[in-house]
Amino acid sequence: MTHVKPIRPSEPLVSPQDLIEFQAGLDEHRAGALVGDRWTGFRVRHGVYGQRQAGMHMMRLKIPGGIVTPAWLRVIAAANRVSGDAAVRITTRQDLQLYSVPLDKTAAVLKVLHEGGVPTREAGGNTLRNATACAFSGACPAERVDAGRVAQRLTSLWLRHPLGQNMPRKIKISVSGCASDCALGMYQDIALVATERDGVPGFRGIGAGGLGAQPMPGIELLPFVEEHELGAVIEAVMRVHHAHSDRRNRNGSRLKFLVRRMGADAVRRLIGEAFQAARPLPQRPWEPLDWRRPDGEGPPVAGRFSQPDGKIGLVAAPPLGLLGSDQLDALAGLVEQAGIPELRLLMTQRLFFLGLSPQAADGLAAALTKLGLSVADRDGAPADVVSCTGTAECPIGITNSRALASEIVAQGAAGPYKVRVSGCHNSCGQHHLGDIGLHGMAKRTDGRAGPRYQIHVGGDARLPDGLAIAGPVVNARQATLAVSLVAKAISETLREGESVRDWALRQGEAGLERILAPALDVPVGEDDFVDVGDVLAFAPPAQTKGDCAAPFNSDAFLADLSKDSVELVERGLQAGLPGEALRAAGRVLALAGRRLLARQGEEMEHEAPEPVALRLRQAMTHLPSLLSALDEAEAALEAAPSQWRAAATRWLDAVERALPHAQPTASFDDLAAKAAAL
């Protein structure tokens, strides 16, 4: 395939413009000009989330592939001290989160982070989220490519692109280095799994999966693509998402709901067509990957293991993934002393050190233990318990999942099994994918609402039908007992060669009920109306929505799609596809025109220029300069291709100048009637 010239340089992880943009938005918010859903959508795109505690914010960093350098660790520690020095948390998407940041300190924290090169841009919001990678990427004997490096390249490929700023809903992405798919690809919006076809390395594309209240496994989108085509894969999925997902019902606008509504074959066809359209267009530059032949089977299972190159890999577990500022500084020093350039964050909220000499591994293990981290020397030690933050900080949490997870660890209830705890149905703790999972809910007993957990058993993310089997609901105060009962039963009755999932299927609903009977058949007392880790009586959560589920802002997404279409004009011309360039120029006219109409409360769905231009001439008679610009834009579409890009840009400028003069609350007939009455 002939490669065309890239459209523009790859994006840096941090740009000075990011902080300037955030500070300007914060100033507008303080002045009362940027409020409500517009403010929410703006700040989460910069990684700033509302917290359960009034006036406090969580700040999420974007860590592609979970790869962290010692310099980053020190910067994060410094930023955390500015914010108030709460514990920093490793997330199940290989990010880091800072907590309890007052609004007035958010810009100062971002300044420290960005000046140190640590990104937050598009760590949240309806964007292309952090690209995650399989657990031991860079050291796994089975891998064909370092999935963490792929995640880094993908981030630079699409960061700040207008197509990814205001999507109908977020898109989560993962990269796996081999067919084992340790990056949980079946439950991502886009998953790239390294493979080979006819001796050529590449990726299988899976997507449209997800967890949450309605979990669904993904479908195969593209059977094989080469690495230089990955930009076109992401573009194709985003374009289908923009064109067909439901922007109005935020609870049904993830890609998995598109599959449910249209069917897998239809979605696969749409993405295939969009991919073929994107393939010949120039993309941002792609740095070639280092491929290798696998020299082992399966990922490592021990916490300390030998890499294929003879080096040592080591896993350490901070308690529930929480780290203090001093620990972050100390970790930076330990990484440097060990003679390695980086460490990696795991989706299990642990740390992975790769490329160690045996002597360095011994010294590092001892130092990490002194630092308060548990160093795993075998699978399951320490306990593999993962939790979201729950009501400790999350505004939509129902139960205190973090406190429950801490109790499970303290009592040794998990045994050698993977336990995943979520404080609500949204599955941030990935309860659907654990050997034993729990998700928080509120349930009434004797007319009073109390904290409860539903038990899930036998999740396996690497299977297309690997969602855990839902079991009974237990009172929160009995949840740790429930975990220990299930773990004990698995250990005692698991057959040779049988997986935990197979065991759960063999037990069935009735079997799980019998096993959990001691946690179910307990008289209800006052403790059952107080959550684990709390002292006050449980109060059902107020009806609220997460920050990312805020209603869409038509002005923002139409502006972004207009900018993207201007870029498509140039890309089409560079690729020698004037027809594609002309269609893109027409979309600029239509999309930007729709912004003006939306400002006065009129929503149009057209992307063709003719109906939008007609409506503009009817509605914008009070703006003769705009109508003149419209005439020029339409004439340019009939002119030489060399004029299309400049004409599209001039039309965008004209629309921007006209926006303050659009009437947001009344029709022109109403305004005319009011004027006549004066």
For residue 288, the model assigns a pLDDT of 94
> Is residue 96 scored above 80 in pLDDT?
yes
Q: Measure the CA–CA gap between 338 and 124, rounded to whole angstroms.
A: 33
For residue 678, the model assigns a pLDDT of 36
Q: Measure the CA–CA gap between 300 and 311, rounded to whole angstroms.
A: 13
For residue 551, the model assigns a pLDDT of 59
Predicted TM-score of the model (pTM): 0.92
Residue 188, CA atoms < 13 Å, CB-side half-sphere = 31
- pLDDT-derived band at 4 (thresholds 50, 70, 90) equals very low
Q: What integer best gives the mean pLDDT of the chain?
A: 92
> Is residue 228 scored above 90 in pLDDT?
yes
Tokens of 290: 């280092």
- pLDDT-derived band at 604 (thresholds 50, 70, 90) equals confident
List, for residues 161-207, the tens digit of each pLDDT value.
Answer: 999 999 999 999 999 999 999 999 999 999 999 999 999 999 999 99
Q: Strands, E, within 357-446: which ranges?
A: 374-376, 385-387, 419-422, 436-445
For residue 672, the model assigns a pLDDT of 41
SS3 content of the chain, % helix, strand, coil (to 5): 45, 15, 40
- pLDDT-derived band at 305 (thresholds 50, 70, 90) equals confident
For residue 599, the model assigns a pLDDT of 86
For residue 247, the model assigns a pLDDT of 85
Q: Strands, E, within 209-361: which ranges?
A: 219-225, 304-306, 312-317, 322-323, 343-345, 351-356
> Is residue 446 scored above 90 in pLDDT?
no
Contact indicator for 295, 141 with CB cutoff of 8 Å: yes
For residue 650, the model assigns a pLDDT of 96
> Is residue 300 scored above 50 in pLDDT?
yes
Q: Measure the CA–CA gap between 592 and 463, rounded to whole angstroms.
A: 44
For residue 543, the model assigns a pLDDT of 62
Tokens of 49: 């989330």
List, for residues 503-557, the tens digit of each pLDDT value.
Answer: 999 999 999 999 999 999 888 888 889 999 999 899 877 666 667 665 567 888 8
List, for residues 56-73, the tens digit of each pLDDT value.
Answer: 999 999 999 999 999 999
Q: Measure the CA–CA gap between 439 and 459, rounded to whole angstroms.
A: 13
Q: Measure the CA–CA gap between 247 and 268, rounded to whole angstroms.
A: 20
Contact indicator for 43, 118 with CB cutoff of 8 Å: no
Q: What percent of the chain has pLDDT over 90?
A: 82
Least confident window among 98-107, 463-472, 660-669 = 660-669
For 278-312, b/e burial (b = at least 16 CB within 10 A) is: bbbbbbbebeebeeeebeeeebbeebbbbbeeebb
CB-based contacts of 366, cutoff 8 Å, min separation 6: none
User: How much is the average pLDDT of 334-347?
Assistant: 96
Place of tokens 């994918």: 433
> Is residue 299 scored above 90 in pLDDT?
no
> Is residue 353 scored above 90 in pLDDT?
yes
For residue 477, the model assigns a pLDDT of 96
For residue 231, the model assigns a pLDDT of 96
For residue 295, the model assigns a pLDDT of 85
For residue 252, the model assigns a pLDDT of 86
> Is residue 376 scored above 80 in pLDDT?
no
> Is residue 425 scored above 50 in pLDDT?
yes
For residue 671, the model assigns a pLDDT of 38
Considering only CA atoms, which of 62, 25, 43, 152 is closest in space to residue 101? 43
For residue 463, the model assigns a pLDDT of 86
For residue 544, the model assigns a pLDDT of 63
CB-based contacts of 645, cutoff 8 Å, min separation 6: 566, 569, 570, 573, 585
